[in-house]
Amino acid sequence: MGEIIDVISDVTVYGSAALAFIYLIGFNRFDKAYKFFTLYLLTIAVIQLGMKAWKWYFEGQSNLFLFFYFFTLQFLWISLFYKELLKFKLMGYLLIGVFVLIGIQYWLDPGLYLRYNPLGISMTQMILVVYSLLYLYRNLTERGNFYLVNIGFLIYFSSSTLIFTAGNLAFDDDFVKSISWILVKVNVVIYFIFQILIFVEWWKHYRIPKKRLSK
Amino acid sequence: MVEALPNPEKEVVKIILLALAILIFMGVAIVLFFYFSRKKIIKTQLEKAHLEIAYQKELLQATILTQEEERKRIAQDLHDAISSKLNVVSLNANFLIEKDITLEDTHRIGEGIQKVTKSVLESSRRIAHDLLPPTLEKFGLKAALEELCEEVDAAQRFQIQYNISYPEGVLSSTNELHFFRIVQELFNNTIKHSEAKAIVLSLRCSENLLSLQYTDDGKGFEVVKAKTAKGLGMSGIENRALLMNAEFMLESAPEAGMRVEIKYQRNNEH
């Protein structure tokens, strides 16, 4: 079981790079929401590969500062992505407000940059869960883009919020490492499912047929 | 692995995993809920569209039926009033070219031909007039409606009161024709079915509303039946009102006469 998870874990790392690549192909061809989503995928891919590389070169050193970029950039791109889909003006103000809050948090405690930030991740991801619910509601009567990706976001963000929040336990020295590993494994599996949804979305709606390329 | 842990930590793991399972379950449930609601909504929308199409079909059918009936009536009119009389003319003309005919007979036959021709002319004028009253095109809706009322009045079967105020250009020419046909059909209904003694017709025009009221004191009918019955022109009248985006109201009951009101919002003219 553990080996399978390891394989899936590797697949998600390279998969995120592959997804970013296939979405980049149509970058100029599709709407703004698509562009923000591609930027999100690109950010994830860079961070994932960066973590892998960091592990090779600086074995044992904390890579948690990457986590800061992960959750802030994730919130930035996906907020903009949903702002394009939902067209609510309030979302822009919320985005700025959250960034101001995060800024205050890091200003008060600069050392947090090298630590894990459960408040930041849970706050941003819960907001994104709300956006995805709103978008699901909007899709009741009209067919919007990114339906599958939206479902993926809903499930992945709601479950990973808990995992990341609980993740702080993993850095408690009294806590046995194996527990945090269980959480990491569950997260990997959910993320893998999410990636499959992203791929299916691309395959169904954004794969450019050969005919159109030759035009 | 997990078994080896001390108890409290094992509990924490259990709780976290359980919470995670619940979250994922809720997530899936929400997605499924939206998915099925969406399906249902689309299904109802589809049903509504089907219903609309069925209604349009019915409307079309009624239109075609009316057209066919009209054609039959015109054919009958042409046959009765013109063809048969022209036959008489042709027969009389044959007499004229016979050799041993007296001057007196010639005069008599000539007079006969003149009389019949006159009546044929009158009939053809009437048929053409029935098809499309020239007054409507030449002098507008007000004049055409007044002429219609005068004609009904001249038949002296009803007491008719009418009050028509209509400034030119309120309706497009298509809608004017609709309006005229509606009134014509209302008169037809009253004449054919109602055994009424009095008719009141009023057409009023305010700044943004054109309203037509028509009342008779005939034997009336049940509104629901009349709307579905093909013979009565009520569905035709309603369809015309619908086509010109006007509001159609019909009140009637057995032995209580009939009242029709058509309201047309002036600003929806296009």
In order of start, what are the domains of chain B with their CATH numbers?
A: 1-131 (no CATH), 133-268 (3.30.565.10)
pLDDT of residue A82 exceeding 90: yes
Provide the greatest CA pair distance for chain A: 63
- pLDDT for the residue numbered A36: 93
Chain A nearest-CA residue for B25: A155
Q: What are the tens digits of pLDDT across the range B143-152?
A: 888 988 888 8
Chain A nearest-CA residue for B12: A179
All residues of chain A having their beta carbon less than 8 Å from the beta carbon of residue B7 are: none
Determine whether the interchain pair B38/A137 forms a contact, defined as Cβ–Cβ distance below 8 Å: no
Tell me the residue length of chain B.
270
Mean pLDDT across B204-227? 85
**Which of helix, strand or coil describes residue A104?**
helix
All residues of chain A having their beta carbon less than 8 Å from the beta carbon of residue B18 are: none
Dihedral angle at the C-alpha atoms of A202, A205, A209, A215, nearest 10 degrees?
-120
- pLDDT for the residue numbered A93: 92
- pLDDT for the residue numbered A1: 62
Residues in Cβ contact with B232 at an 8 Å cutoff, skipping those fewer than 6 apart: B189, B193, B221, B226
Residues in Cβ contact with A21 at an 8 Å cutoff, skipping those fewer than 6 apart: none
**Which of helix, strand or coil describes residue B173?**
helix
Cα angle value B236/B239/B245 (rounded, 5°):
145
How far is the alpha carbon of B243 from chain A, nearest alpha carbon, in Å? 29
Mean pLDDT across B59-82? 86
Q: How would you list the strands of the sheet with B209-216, edge to edge?
A: B159-164, B198-205, B209-216, B258-265, B247-252
- Identity at A76, one-letter amino acid code: L
What ipTM does the predicted assembly reach? 0.72
- pLDDT for the residue numbered A214: 45
Question: What is the residue range of A66's domain?
Answer: 2-214
Residues in Cβ contact with B247 at an 8 Å cutoff, skipping those fewer than 6 apart: B241, B262, B263, B264
Q: Which of residues 55-94 of B touch A (CB under 8 A)?
A: none
More confident: A168 or A54: A54
Would you call B9 an interface residue with chain A, using a CB distance cutoff of 8 Å?
yes
- pLDDT for the residue numbered A209: 66
Place of tokens 């390329």: A213
Cβ(B201)–Cβ(B161) under 8 Å? Answer: yes
Would you call B15 an interface residue with chain A, using a CB distance cutoff of 8 Å?
no
**Token pair for residue A144?**
């919007």
| CB-CB neighbours of A12 under 10 Å | 19
- pLDDT for the residue numbered A45: 92
pLDDT of residue A40 exceeding 90: yes
Q: What single-letter DSSP state applies at residue A205?
A: I
**Token pair for residue B91?**
């027969």
Dist. CA B193–CA A6, nearest whole Å: 89
Dist. CA A206–CA A34, nearest whole Å: 9
Beta strand segments in chain A, E? none
Dist. CA A196–CA A115, nearest whole Å: 31
Cα radius of gyration (chain B): 34
**Token pair for residue A23?**
């979405």
Dist. CA A62–CA A59, nearest whole Å: 9
**A211 falls in which pLDDT band (50, 70, 90)?**
low
Strand B258-265 versus strand B159-164 pairing type: unpaired
Tell me the residue length of chain A.
215
**Which of helix, strand or coil describes residue B29?**
helix
Cβ(A185)–Cβ(A6) under 8 Å? Answer: no
Strand partners, B211: B204, B263
Determine whether the interchain pair B31/A155 forms a contact, defined as Cβ–Cβ distance below 8 Å: yes
**Token pair for residue B41?**
């909504």
Residue from A122, A146, A155 whose CB has the most chain B CBs within 10 Å, to mutate: A155
All residues of chain A having their beta carbon less than 8 Å from the beta carbon of residue B20 are: 159, 162-163, 186
Nearest to A28 by CA among A42, A13, A38: A38
**Cα B38 → chain centroid:** 38
pLDDT of residue B231 exceeding 60: no
More confident: B17 or A23: A23
The count of C-alpha atoms lying within 13 angstroms of the C-alpha of B78, restricted to the half-sphere facing its C-beta, is 8
| CB-CB neighbours of B32 under 10 Å | 11
- pLDDT for the residue numbered A87: 87
Determine whether the interchain pair A159/B28 forms a contact, defined as Cβ–Cβ distance below 8 Å: no
pLDDT of residue B264 exceeding 60: yes
- pLDDT for the residue numbered A38: 93
For A57, A69, A123, B26, B239, the CA distances from A23, given in Å and listed in that order, are: 29, 21, 28, 30, 54
Residue from A130, A158, A159 whose CB has the most chain B CBs within 10 Å, to mutate: A159
| CB-CB neighbours of A49 under 10 Å | 15
Q: Report the number of distinct structural domains present in chain A.
A: 1
- pLDDT for the residue numbered B5: 52
pLDDT of residue A52 exceeding 50: yes
Mean pLDDT across B77-83? 86
Mean pLDDT across B221-235? 70
- pLDDT for the residue numbered A215: 42
Q: Which of residues 107-166 of B touch A (CB under 8 A)?
A: none
Q: How does the average pLDDT of chain B come out, rounded?
A: 84
